[in-house]
A and B are shown apart, each in its own frame.
Chain A
Amino acid sequence: MEVVDALAKACEVRPGEAGDAVQGATPAYVAAPAAVAEAAALMGTAAEHGLTVVPRGAGTKMHWGAPPDRCDLLVDTRRLGRIVEHAAGDLVVKTEAGLALDDLRGVLAGAGQQLALDLLPPGGTVGGVLATGVAGPRRLLYGSARDLLIGITVVRADGVVAHAGGKVVKNVAGYDLGKLFTGSYGTLGLIVEAAFRLHPLPRAAAYVSATAAGPGQALQMAQALLHSTLVPAAIEVDGPGPITVAALFEGVPDGVAPRAEAARSLIGGRIGDAPPGWWGRLPDGEVLAEVRALPTALPDLFAELPDGRARIRGSAGRGVWHVALPADGAGDALTRLRRHGTAVALAAPAGVRLDRWGPIPALPLMRRVKDQFDPGHRLAPGRFAGGI
């Protein structure tokens, strides 16, 4: 039987086209399972035929990570778009992986609830956010996807469906595979369902933003907010030229107003209902990197930037920033940034030669995890750290 016929027994499948290419690798087939059972059958068939598999949600971050060594089968998850269960009274939601986060947001808002994950870039799916582990400003208060995920269903490389966690927030039974899959770029299995803890939508919000005279003052402002008892949901910095520090306060109207006033007395600037224009957006640049360092390393990071077209934006409270760099000299800039922490090039133009990942302390263990989950190295081969 032709491979395409075998795949078609599992779910909708079509030949790949140039527009389906993942960083230059055009898939032979594009399949779109509409149920977990279809996804399992599809992955089983792919295993029988030794196909390499790359998952895709809305496709907003396919240019992140290294290019795949090969891509025989692209799995489009968007037909896995159902909300499986929204237990509003339990502040829990379980969804399929291809659900657009914007659609989920609308449903949850109807119940006065939210999944407290900032979506950047816009338009992504549940599965895509998990696979890349990306998070935005409110990671300071709510954590990132790994902290909000309470259960996961995956289809393994061999087509077996497996679950971990559950649909209660407090649960320590078994290994937390959800955290392992978060940020794994499709290299361990296909994420098909996820359950999250939810939070009430705040009844009021206020932003306080101020301009810093330089990196040192930006750090002082961020530290003043961080060590206050005002509990900001986010402390963000954006710069250079000029450097802005901004904080978000969420809560009840009677609580937010005095907290925002107190924050302004710490850092100056102004209070507004809307965020600064750059808030919650990735900085524009040819190379996009995620940098993690101690919050107090902020001035050092600014000092390592090449002159001109580079930008730092992110959580001055948590010490996780997105950095945009010009392609020319990006490798050197990453090397300098790594003096202070870790720096991963999420996206880089084709042909730019650089070390995307930097040193990876536990790489041998990671390779062994990969070997267990995907012994044939067929899942998103080459896209991940260490060439995994």
Chain B
Amino acid sequence: MARLDGLAGRLREIVGAESVITDPAELRTYDCDGLTYHRATPGIVVLPDTAEQIAAIVRACAADGVPYVARGSGTGLSGGALPRTDGVLIVTSRMRRVLAVDAANQRAIVEPGVINLDVTRAARPYGYYFAPDPSSQQVCSIGGNVAENSGGAHCLKYGFTVNHVLACEVVTPDGEIVELAEGPGYDLLGAFVGSEGTLGITTKVTVRLTRLPETVQTLLAGFDTIERAGEAVSAIIAAGVVPAAIEMMDALSIEAAEAAVRCGYPPGAGAVLIVELDGPASEVDAQFARVKELCGEAFEIRVAADDTERGLIWRGRKSAFAAVGRISPDYIVQDGVIPRTTLPEVLARIDALAREHGVRVANVFHAGDGNLHPLVLFDGAEPGAGERAEEVSGRIIDLCIEHGGSITGEHGVGIDKAKYMPRMFTDEDLDTMQMVRCAFDPAGLCNPGKVYPTPRLCGEVPGRRTGVHPLVESGKADLF
């Protein structure tokens, strides 16, 4: 690690000694993200304050051929921010200023370490909020949201992070600072958002702000069976209603939520649905009446009278992942997507898989867009249980692919699912995607080993083209 020793010295010159961590005990604090079963202690951790510092750090890494990984709050669930033992972890958590809230133009400019919910807090006095709402929104950072193209319960209506990012200032793997935005040329912004930290590091993000709705209506419906709940979801979509969110939980996840937060969901329910509508009151009132009719098979429907009651309804759902810890010592959170209409069939297959392998699976999902979060329960102390759970979790992903869905709806591929990519995409597809990687990061130093199981050989590292006028090259001038 002599190479890293020399690099650490140069990083101290860039950010100051107090912002470079090389002490082994302190480094271990950063050895995983939200997916804790992948661990690697970073070679060096650096905590920059500015884009210029990040650019200098990236150039120093490039000069030594040292890989680097960017990390925000470290809440990701696919190991996208898993460090390299032979590399540098660039942590953006000190860059947490909200630089501007421009309500007149429905946007805010923030640094990458700003917490998702803090954007909404800054915008709310103007009547606005930041729509993407991953369930980690109290702690996750905007930089991480950009890297993962984060979604959330309300992306059914409002879309994902990529639909709410207007521009990103990015440090490229060349160590240059560039602005990616809609405008003349390729939509590099669209390719960058969701690239899981493999194309560069965002240092400033212009986000779109969304007007707070005039009204929000939320109901909780208890059904005898998950099939009946699924039919209600299909009926709502078929009626032309676009709810802000439709969430479903099965009996086992309800049991967990009751044990954890006593959410008081209808006793004996085989499944519950949470349906939320928002928008102009006149629209929401009419549509909400329709939704209640379409939930006619429910044995109980509760309508939230105010924000407090709404919070109670959501509490069970939002606590579901952590709550599973009350009924099982260990669990795997899966994230897969299916066409929504295949929900009944896929759930039956998951049930059969669980029985076959003797494991329990709790189902929590964004039912409106077919995004499943099966929680595969196991006891790590029991020999072979972890392997069986892993097997079931992987087979669920196969089910998603078989039904025309995706291996990840919002958690990302990261290190965890790179092995599944060849099941969803052909070698040619993966090779083509990596052409983008080769354009941005021909040396393969920017978060290597993530997303793609085998890196594309980029061939000769393209240098600057010769014979082009510098002003044309830099984009300052172009005449035709």
B435 at the interface (CB under 8 A from A): yes
Q: Which of A96-104, A303-311, A351-359 forms part of the interface with chain B? A: A351-359
Interface size (B, Cβ < 8 Å)?
99
Q: Which of B39-47, B176-184, B260-268 forms part of the interface with chain A? A: B176-184
A294 CA to B181 CA, complexed, in Å:
13
**Nearest CB of B to A131, in Å:** 12
A322 at the interface (CB under 8 A from B): no
Instruction: Please state if B405 and A387 are interface contacts (CB–CB under 8 Å).
Output: no
Instruction: Please state if A156 and B370 are interface contacts (CB–CB under 8 Å).
Output: no
A270 CA to B472 CA, complexed, in Å:
50
Q: Mark A199-220, 1 if CB is under 8 A from B, else 0.
A: 1110100000000000000000
A90 CA to B405 CA, complexed, in Å:
11
Instruction: Please state if A369 and B104 are interface contacts (CB–CB under 8 Å).
Output: no
A360 partner residues in chain B, CB cutoff 8 A: 183-185, 475, 478
Q: Which of A169, A363, A366, A384 has the most CB of B within 10 A?
A: A169
Q: Which of B162, B283, B407, B426 has the most CB of A within 10 A?
A: B283
B462 at the interface (CB under 8 A from A): yes
A64 at the interface (CB under 8 A from B): no
Instruction: Please state if A163 and B425 are interface contacts (CB–CB under 8 Å).
Output: yes
A230 CA to B213 CA, complexed, in Å:
9
- Which residues 94-113 of B sit at the A interface, judged by CB distance below 8 A? 102-106
Instruction: Please state if B473 and A365 are interface contacts (CB–CB under 8 Å).
Output: no
Q: Looking at chain A, what size class is its interface with the partner chain?
A: 35 or more
A256 CA to B284 CA, complexed, in Å:
11
Instruction: Please state if A167 and B429 are interface contacts (CB–CB under 8 Å).
Output: no
Instruction: Please state if A173 and B438 are interface contacts (CB–CB under 8 Å).
Output: no
- Which residues 172-202 of A sit at the B interface, judged by CB distance below 8 A? 172-180, 182-184, 188, 199-201
Q: Which of B20-28, B189-197, B351-359 forms part of the interface with chain A? A: B189-197
A257 CA to B435 CA, complexed, in Å:
51
A60 at the interface (CB under 8 A from B): no
Query: Of all chain A residues, which has the CB nearest B180?
Result: A362
> Of B234, B240, B478, B479, which contacts A201 at CB under 8 A?
B240
- Which residues 203-224 of B sit at the A interface, judged by CB distance below 8 A? 211-214
A175 partner residues in chain B, CB cutoff 8 A: 191, 194-195, 433, 436-437, 451
B190 partner residues in chain A, CB cutoff 8 A: 146, 176, 178-180, 182
**Nearest CB of B to A52, in Å:** 18
A160 CA to B433 CA, complexed, in Å:
13
- Which residues 58-76 of A sit at the B interface, judged by CB distance below 8 A? 66
Instruction: Please state if B408 and A90 are interface contacts (CB–CB under 8 Å).
Output: no
Instruction: Please state if B178 and A365 are interface contacts (CB–CB under 8 Å).
Output: yes
B337 partner residues in chain A, CB cutoff 8 A: 168, 170-171
Query: Of all chain B residues, which has the CB nearest A259?
Result: B280
Q: Which of B159, B189, B191, B472 has the most CB of A within 10 A?
A: B191
B73 at the interface (CB under 8 A from A): no
A371 CA to B337 CA, complexed, in Å:
34
A164 at the interface (CB under 8 A from B): yes
**Nearest CB of A to B106, in Å:** 7
Given A179-B187, A227-B103, A367-B465, A170:B286 Cβ within 8 A:
no
> Of B186, B424, B476, which contacts A369 at CB under 8 A?
B186
Given A231-B279, A365-B172, A386-B472, A166:B404 Cβ within 8 A:
yes
B237 at the interface (CB under 8 A from A): yes
Instruction: Give me the interface of A with B, judged by CB distance under 8 Å.
Output: 66, 87, 89-92, 112, 133, 143, 146-147, 154, 156, 160-164, 166-180, 182-184, 188, 199-201, 203, 223, 226-231, 251-252, 254-259, 292, 294-296, 319, 341-342, 344, 354-369, 371-373, 384-388
Interface pairs (12), CB distance under 8 Å? A89-B238, A162-B433, A164-B433, A168-B337, A169-B369, A177-B432, A226-B106, A258-B282, A259-B280, A362-B185, A364-B464, A366-B185
Instruction: Give me the interface of B with A, judged by CB distance under 8 Å.
Output: 102-106, 127, 148-149, 151, 155, 159-160, 162-163, 172, 178-191, 193-195, 211-214, 234, 237-238, 240-242, 279-280, 282-287, 337-341, 366, 369-371, 404-413, 417, 421, 424-426, 428-433, 435-440, 451, 462, 464-465, 472-480
**Known contacts A171-B406, A294-B105; can you find 14 more A-B pairs with CB under 8 A?**
A87-B341, A89-B339, A89-B340, A164-B425, A170-B370, A172-B406, A180-B436, A227-B211, A228-B211, A229-B212, A251-B283, A255-B283, A366-B188, A386-B475
